[in-house]
Amino acid sequence: MSVQIFRCTRCGATLFPARYLCPACGNNAWSALDVARGTVIASTVVRHRVGTGNGGDIHLASVATQAGPIIIARLEQAVQAGDVVSLTLDAQHRIVGCRI
């Protein structure tokens, strides 16, 4: 599944996640845009999660999409700022990034 961001049909502002009203112009109509990749701007690793025992590390990154909005993606491995990642949705509808 592909990751989608949303563009206001009146002013063209792009947002993620979707909102009821465009913060730029107040419009309530959106078009969905598929986003296939982005550039990592920051990353971190979650090592300890409450209530999961030893679930292993989770790598997360803030990713600037091609269309503008920044999204948070889960990754299989550590990445560095500037790395380009592909973006998809997994079976649980989480955004997953993979270094290209």
Band (pLDDT 50/70/90 cuts) for residue 1 is confident
Specify the pTM.
Answer: 0.86
Among left, alpha and beta (phi > 0; psi -120 to 50; other), residue 81 is beta
- Do residues 88 and 1 lie in contact, with contact meaning Cβ atoms separated by under 8 Å? yes
Residue 16 tokens, joined: 């993620």
Quick: pLDDT tens for 44-59. Answer: 998 876 666 666 788 9
Q: Which CATH class is domain 3-99?
A: mainly beta
94: left (phi over 0), alpha (psi -120 to 50) or beta: beta
- Segment 53-68 shows an average pLDDT of 86
